[in-house]
Amino acid sequence: MKNNHEIKKYSGSKILVTGGAGFVGCNLAGQLAELGADVTIVDDLFTGELKNIENIPIKDFIKGDVRDERLMKKIIGKFEFIFHLAARNIIVSTKNPLEDYSVNIGGTLNLLLQLKKSKNLYRFLYTSSVSIYGNTRYIPINEDDSYNLLSPYAVSKLGGESYTKVFYENYDMPTVVVRYSNVYGISQNASNPYCGVISKIIEKIKNDQRPLIHGDGEQTRDFSYVKDTVDATLLAGISDKSVGEVYNIGTGVETSINSLVALINQLYHKDISPEYIDRRDIDNIRRRVVNIEKVRRALKWIPRYTLKHGLSETIEWYNSL
């Protein structure tokens, strides 16, 4: 990362990562621990897994729920940085919108309320999703483009964003929002039923099976390698310029699912054709690619990994399992 001098400021800081046993959370916690931060993870292990953090030198792991007022009130005031990743993901949200609302909006509000009187807080970083944009009229998608909410998950992530912004505006809380775009990479295990599409395709092709594609495969996404996502998150969490801001975190590169399958085949030196099946309720976004100019200008961040490079590292990790 070019901005090493910035993120070195995390050394010695007391940091809470909610959802830290999940895919992105464990990568973020690992990087923070490597920087010398004093990291505590809170995770209810709904989708997170203890094996993701067993080799990370964190200070403490608490099995708990961000909706638990008593627990949050007890622990949250001592932390200088809160990285809030705990959430129900899009698959769960569609099956159980009430649970989605309770965790993604209620849990976020609970954290913010408990932090109102904190004297130690330097930054509260909320991880949102580009799902809030839905199908847009123009691409690439800018942070100030209109929202087109097409899933309970999109509604709840925007709700969490909105509370985060309100606490900045009304209570002068130092908050920042990052919107993730289709993150993939190391620790996104295909055995987890809530994992993303890349891990599922890799698992199939690795085992000489046809990957399942919902729809015609021409739908596009902006796939972001987890190491890049973590780098951007760390910069947003430490920079004075980011307070009160919202940033898209992606690559600015649009890739179809068919192209993705072809590239994974190429990396495995195989030629396995996908099997096309019916679309799901959550497969309602046709094209997605985000504009990352704002984060580039403000935080001097650009992704270091091409899709091919990120997939190569991811496949290397899968092959080592």
> Out of 126, 133, 153, 168, which one is annotated catalytic?
153
Which amino acid makes up residue 60? D
**CA distance linking residue 271 with residue 262, whole number of Å:** 8
CB 80 within 8 A of CB 12: no
Report whether 41 contacts 30 (CB < 8 A): no
Q: Residue 174: what residue type?
A: P
Residues forming beta bridges with residue 82, ordered by sequence position = 16, 124
* Structure-block tokens of residue 156: 């709840």
- Distance, in Å, from the CA atom of 25 to the CA atom of 41, rounded to the nearest integer, reads 9
What residues contact 53, with CB distance under 8 A and at least 6 apart?
A: 20, 21, 26, 29, 30, 41, 61
DSSP code of 286?
Answer: -
Nearest to 67 by CA among 41, 87, 94: 87
Active site residue 163: no
Question: CA 231, 237, 240: angle at the middle one, nearest 5?
Answer: 120
Residues 6+ apart with CB under 8 A from 262: none
Residue 275, phi then psi, degrees to nearest 5: -105, 125
Task: Return all residues near 241 (Cβ < 8 A) that are at least 6 apart.
Answer: 298, 299
Active site amino acids: 153
